[in-house]
């Protein structure tokens, strides 16, 4: 705040406090530990915080990320504060899928959409970090949704292999050359979040191919041949129904404290099989 530029100066008291992670006018919450939801106690702590005056500046900043990790109870607890926020506080609710947020929350916020974009500098940076991988920087950007750090994290884990397993198994299902129950058991080890997130991206690619869109628009562009084989076994309406069903199960997995992973996977696969049988 000492140098008037379009970015942080990095040397003033505010910047140094932020870098150290203990700025008193910044309050952020995210799911704790392995929890996938924000807790009511976290929202209550936030509400108490925003009633206080700024400690060293004129504004307090509150960040909730991901905001769609709120369940009905935590969202309702936040409504009053969103309706009448203290004048010295600014609340930022960050979400990659804002449609998951209750309409009561969205209607009380000014919505700003950030479109992921990458430049040649981003691609060069990512390419410089790639060692012994078959994936190009451009492909990784597609798979990550345009986030450089997210793209880098993909090759450091098993996410990309999970995706290949899903596509290969869906291809086997399309030619009725597999045991759906066994596939469900195998998928269980991949993690429900990984499965549902990748399935939604895969189905979107199938829809693009069905509509004969350019393959350059595909997310899983490196798997386009296998995806094309799956496309031939489903009509467009079936694909849309499958996408909506997977999205529903994803929303349910986020809202339920206790759920049976294998049961959700089996529901998705049996729904998929029924869609194929209807064609």
What interhelical angle do 148-156 and 120-129 show, nearest 10?
A: 20
When mean pLDDT is compared over 173-177, 214-218, 241-245, the highest value belongs to 241-245
pLDDT tens-digit profile of 44-80? Answer: 999 999 998 888 878 899 999 999 899 889 999 999 9
Distance of CA 48 to the CA centre of its chain: 29
Q: Do residues 68 and 50 make contact, with C-beta atoms less than 8 angstroms apart?
A: no
Q: Tell me what pLDDT residue 241 has.
A: 93
Q: Among 106, 26, 25, which Cα is nearest to 67's?
A: 106
Q: Roughly what angle, to the nearest 10 degrees, separates helices 192-210 and 224-231?
A: 70
Beta-bridge partner residues of 28: 63
Domains of the chain: 13-106 (3.40.50.300), 158-277 (1.20.272.10)
Q: What is the pLDDT of residues 191-200, one digit of tens each?
A: 888 899 999 9
Task: Give the three-state DSSP class for 91.
Answer: strand
Across the beta sheet with 60-64, the strand order is 26-29, 60-64, 89-93
Phi–psi pair at 61, nearest 5 degrees: -110, 130
CA–CA distance, 203 with 247 (Å, rounded to integer) = 11
Mean of pLDDT over the chain = 86
Residue 175 burial (CB count, 10 A): 12
Helices (H) and strands (E) in the chain, counts: 13, 3
CB atoms within 10 A of CB 44: 13
Identify the band that residue 207 occupies on the pLDDT scale cut at 50, 70 and 90.
very high
Helix (H) or strand (E) holding 92: strand 89-93
CB atoms within 10 A of CB 241: 18
The answer to whether residues 56 and 14 touch, using CB atoms and an 8 Å cutoff, is yes
Q: Residue 111: which pLDDT band, with cuts at 50, 70 and 90? A: confident
The residues near 227 (Cβ < 8 Å, ≥ 6 apart) are: 167, 202, 205, 206, 209, 218, 220
Continuous segment of H or E residues that includes residue 229: helix 224-231
CB atoms within 10 A of CB 236: 12
- 91-95, 257-261, 266-270 — which is least confidently predicted? 257-261
DSSP-H helix ranges across 107-158: 120-129, 137-144, 148-156
pTM above the 0.85 mark?
no
Q: How many Å apart are CA 14 and CA 89, to the nearest integer?
A: 16
Q: Given a cut of 90, is residue 203 above it in pLDDT?
A: yes
- How far is the C-alpha of 255 from the C-alpha of 226, rounded, in Å? 33
């Amino acid at each position: 705040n000492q140098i008037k530029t379009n970015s942080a100066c990095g040397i003033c008291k505010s910047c140094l406090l932020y870098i150290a992670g203990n700025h008193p006018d910044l309050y952020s919450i995210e799911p704790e530990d392995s929890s996938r939801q924000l807790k009511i106690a976290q929202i209550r702590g936030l509400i108490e915080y925003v009633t206080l005056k700024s400690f060293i500046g004129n504004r307090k900043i509150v960040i909730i990320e991901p905001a769609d990790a709120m369940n009905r109870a935590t969202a309702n607890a936040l409504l009053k504060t969103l309706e009448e926020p203290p004048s010295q506080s600014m609340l930022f609710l960050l979400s990659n899928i804002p449609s998951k947020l209750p309409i009561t929350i969205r209607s009380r916020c000014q919505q700003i959409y950030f479109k992921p974009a990458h430049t040649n500098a981003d691609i060069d940076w990512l390419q410089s970090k790639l060692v012994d991988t078959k994936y190009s920087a451009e492909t990784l950007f597609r798979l990550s949704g345009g986030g450089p750090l997210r793209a880098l994290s993909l090759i450091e884990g098993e996410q990309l292999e999970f995706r290949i397993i899903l596509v290969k198994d869906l291809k086997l299902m399309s030619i009725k050359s597999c045991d759906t129950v066994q596939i469900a058991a195998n998928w269980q080890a991949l993690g429900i979040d990984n499965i549902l997130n990748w399935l939604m991206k895969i189905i979107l690619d199938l829809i693009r191919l069905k509509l004969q869109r350019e393959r350059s628009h595909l997310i899983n562009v490196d798997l386009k041949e296998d995806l094309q084989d799956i496309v031939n076994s489903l009509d467009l309406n079936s694909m849309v129904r499958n996408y909506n069903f997977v999205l529903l199960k994803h929303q349910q997995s986020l809202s339920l404290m206790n759920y049976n992973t294998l049961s959700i996977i089996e529901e998705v696969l049996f729904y998929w099989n029924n869609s194929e049988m209807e064609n």
